[in-house]
């Protein structure tokens, strides 16, 4: 009897669909299919054809926007307005992948710089790296799939894509759209399997590139098991810090920070989590931030008026509640929220000055919780912001350009937003963590480049 997985609504826990899980024999067939496509260069898809297929896929996605929105929100729980933004981003991502194909190129390497290198012409070209094994996360089920599937396809790599088992339907729909757009059989394969088979996939010696989006614990574990020569890109989470100076513009800042903290119930790897506010403005900041947070509508993600939807699983609500209660016992002041609304919903919560040793201060919360800390000296606040081993995106709010640039320089982050929240992202910018937060850079064009490798040709001729 074949094992199955039930896909349930994160909001009301109703079963949406039941899907079959892959067994080891089926996984082997998937890898063999990808290997055959890559090793037989006569089967490679020429650049112009890859562009046509990607452009057609983007067009088909545009025709099916509402269908994709409801699919994503039903399995992932992200509110309608934010799921719509995700789908539109995903369409743009596919278009960006198509556009970048024309930018895949090598360069001439100068020769004749010494006598022994005369009469030679040297240049590099780019080739697909090989089979891509991609493991994705639940929180952006369509857009993350685009960042792993469309990029691999654009680079000319067969891709085996394993979505999160809580949210596989968007990735499956994307693969079907690519098929409808003309992608040949086998170039995009979606596999549903348990963790042991996922590990067998990514650690197989036939895999050339491992793309991972998820927890640091799992990502670094799998990274340690890769076959020699397998290149990897890991995107983990963080605990995004924000520095707020006394001259910050409250009218712009408060809505941005509330959105950045509670968007998708905080289930975003760069959610606003730790906000360091100068003591001179702390009372005003708290008043305005809490007021704005209390105006958020929590509920059914299918309702266009909902701002904050459910967490992905009830056990995640349990965990967030446990962390918040622990922080309060350890000295944090509860400013608002702190209560479970239902089995799947948790109030947007704001804590003031939790202990630096509490889980909400040291771990990625991945829930609708924002922590506020006071400071008097900016350098001391920056040191506290940098104290963890995760470093992804950060932010500073100030109207003083010198303070802004000094803070940008001192914050340990791959990106620092000035007068914007930490969760800002467009899909053509580099995106990724450093240190424990990950390795390699995401972003459509950056990922395509990572999925390719260089080959140099050197021609010797007495006529050169």
315-338: per-residue pLDDT in tens?
999 999 999 999 999 999 999 999
Residues 224 and 261 in one domain: no
Checking if the pLDDT of 283 tops 80, the result is yes
Query: From the CB of residue 251, how many other CB atoms can be counted at a distance below 10 Å?
Result: 8
- Do the domain assignments include residue 40? yes
Sign for the pseudo-dihedral over CA of 17, 368, 218, 206: positive
Q: Give the mean model confidence (pLDDT) for residues 301-328.
A: 97
Residues 108 and 130 in one domain: yes
Q: Which residues are CB-contacts of 113 (< 8 A; sequence separation ≥ 6)?
A: none
At 344, phi and psi to the nearest 5?
-120, -10
Q: Give the mean model confidence (pLDDT) for residues 435-452.
A: 95
Q: Are 134 and 163 in contact (CB under 8 A)?
A: no
How many Å apart are CA 169 and CA 142, to the nearest integer?
9
Residues 129 and 33 in one domain: yes
| CATH code for position 282 | 3.40.309.10
The set of catalytic residues is: 235, 269
Q: Are 20 and 2 in contact (CB under 8 A)?
A: yes
What local confidence, expressed as pLDDT, does residue 392 receive? 95
- Do the domain assignments include residue 199? yes
Mean pLDDT of all residues belonging to the chain: 97
Distance of CA 449 to the CA centre of its chain: 17
Percent of the chain with pLDDT over 70: 100
| CATH code for position 128 | 3.40.605.10
Checking if the pLDDT of 130 tops 80, the result is yes
**Number of structural domains in the chain:** 2
What local confidence, expressed as pLDDT, does residue 88 receive? 98
What local confidence, expressed as pLDDT, does residue 352 receive? 98
What local confidence, expressed as pLDDT, does residue 204 receive? 97
Residue with tokens 């990897």: 232
Residues 273 and 335 in one domain: yes
pLDDT for 153-204, tens place per residue? Answer: 999 999 999 999 999 999 999 999 999 999 999 999 999 999 999 999 999 9
Distance of CA 281 to the CA centre of its chain: 33
Checking if the pLDDT of 1 tops 80, the result is no
Q: Which residues constitute the domain of residue 72? A: 4-236+437-458
- Do the domain assignments include residue 428? no
What local confidence, expressed as pLDDT, does residue 422 receive? 96
Residues 306 and 230 in one domain: no
Q: Which residues are CB-contacts of 432 (< 8 A; sequence separation ≥ 6)?
A: 233, 235, 392, 414, 438, 439, 440, 441, 442, 443
pLDDT for 218-228, tens place per residue? Answer: 999 999 999 99
How many Å apart are CA 306 and CA 82, to the nearest integer?
10
Checking if the pLDDT of 77 tops 80, the result is yes
Q: Give the mean model confidence (pLDDT) for residues 28-56.
A: 98
How many Å apart are CA 181 and CA 56, to the nearest integer?
5
Residues 117 and 169 in one domain: yes
Q: Is the pTM of this model over 0.85?
A: yes
What local confidence, expressed as pLDDT, does residue 91 receive? 98
- Do the domain assignments include residue 335? yes
**Quick one: DSSP state of residue 451?**
T
Residue with tokens 């399997």: 193
Contacts 24+ apart (CB under 8 A), 201-204: 201/27, 201/31, 201/133, 201/160, 201/162, 202/133, 202/135, 202/226, 202/230, 203/227, 204/31, 204/133
Residues 83 and 109 in one domain: yes
Q: Which residues are CB-contacts of 219 (< 8 A; sequence separation ≥ 6)?
A: 212, 234, 235, 236, 438
Closest-CA residue to 392 (of 405, 377, 373, 411): 411
- Do the domain assignments include residue 180? yes
What local confidence, expressed as pLDDT, does residue 446 receive? 96
Distances (CA, A) of 77 to 14, 133, 149, 157: 12, 26, 22, 31
Residues 247 and 232 in one domain: no
- Do the domain assignments include residue 424? no
Q: Output the six-digit token pair for 10.
A: 């994160």
Residues 152 and 9 in one domain: yes
Residues 332 and 441 in one domain: no
CB-count exposure of residue 313 (10 Å: 0-12, 13-18, 19+): middle
Q: Give the mean model confidence (pLDDT) for residues 366-384.
A: 97
Q: Give the mean model confidence (pLDDT) for residues 1-27.
A: 94
Model confidence at 2, pLDDT cuts 50, 70, 90, reads confident
Residues 115 and 157 in one domain: yes
- Do the domain assignments include residue 66? yes
pLDDT for 349-360, tens place per residue? Answer: 999 999 999 999
Q: Give the mean model confidence (pLDDT) for residues 96-108.
A: 97
What local confidence, expressed as pLDDT, does residue 233 receive? 96
- Do the domain assignments include residue 116? yes
Sign for the pseudo-dihedral over CA of 312, 313, 317, 323: negative
Residues 47 and 184 in one domain: yes
């Amino acid at each position: 009897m074949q094992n199955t997985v039930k896909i349930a609504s994160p909001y009301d826990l109703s079963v949406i669909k039941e899907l079959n899980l892959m067994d080891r024999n089926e996984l082997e067939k998937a890898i063999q299919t990808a290997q055959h496509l890559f090793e037989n260069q006569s089967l490679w898809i020429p650049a112009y054809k890859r562009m046509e297929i990607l452009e057609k896929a983007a067009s088909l996605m545009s025709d099916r926007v509402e269908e994709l929105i409801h699919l994503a929100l039903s399995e992932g729980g992200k509110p309608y307005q934010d799921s719509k933004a995700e789908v539109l981003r995903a369409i743009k991502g596919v278009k960006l992948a198509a556009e970048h194909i024309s930018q895949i190129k090598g360069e001439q390497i100068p020769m004749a710089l010494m006598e022994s290198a005369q009469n030679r012409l040297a240049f590099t070209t780019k080739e697909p790296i090989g089979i891509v094994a991609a493991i994705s996360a639940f929180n952006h089920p369509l857009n993350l799939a685009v960042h792993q599937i469309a990029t691999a396809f654009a680079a000319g790599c067969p891709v085996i894509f394993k979505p999160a088992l809580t949210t596989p339907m968007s990735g499956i729909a994307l693969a079907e759209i690519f098929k409808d757009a003309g992608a040949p059989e086998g170039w995009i394969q979606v596999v549903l399997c348990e963790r042991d088979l996922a590990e067998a996939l990514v650690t197989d010696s036939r895999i050339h590139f491992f793309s991972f989006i998820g927890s640091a614990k799992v990502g670094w574990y799998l990274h340690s098991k890769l076959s020699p020569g397998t290149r990897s890109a890991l995107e983990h989470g963080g605990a995004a810090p924000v520095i707020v100076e006394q001259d910050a513009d409250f009218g712009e800042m408060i809505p941005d920070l509330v959105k950045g903290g509670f968007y998708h119930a905080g289930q975003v790897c760069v959610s606003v989590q730790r906000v360091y506010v100068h003591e001179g403005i702390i009372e005003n900041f708290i008043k305005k931030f809490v007021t704005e947070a209390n105006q958020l509508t929590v509920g059914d993600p299918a309702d266009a008026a909902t701002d904050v939807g459910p967490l992905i699983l009830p056990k995640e609500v349990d965990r967030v509640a446990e962390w918040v209660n622990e922080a309060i016992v350890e000295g944090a002041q509860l400013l608002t929220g702190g209560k479970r609304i239902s089995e799947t919903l948790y109030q947007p919560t704001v804590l003031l000055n939790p202990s630096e040793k509490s889980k909400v201060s040291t771990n990625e919360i991945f829930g609708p919780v924002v922590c506020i800390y006071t400071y008097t000296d900016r350098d001391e606040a920056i040191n506290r912001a940098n104290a963890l081993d995760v470093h992804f995106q950060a932010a500073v709010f100030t109207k003083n350009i010198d303070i802004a640039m000094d803070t940008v320089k001192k914050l340990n982050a791959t990106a620092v937003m000035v007068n914007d929240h930490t969760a800002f992202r467009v899909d053509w910018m580099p995106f990724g963590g450093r240190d424990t937060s990950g390795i390699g850079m995401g972003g459509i064009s950056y990922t395509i480049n990572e999925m390719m490798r260089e080959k140099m040709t050197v021609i010797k001729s007495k006529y050169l």
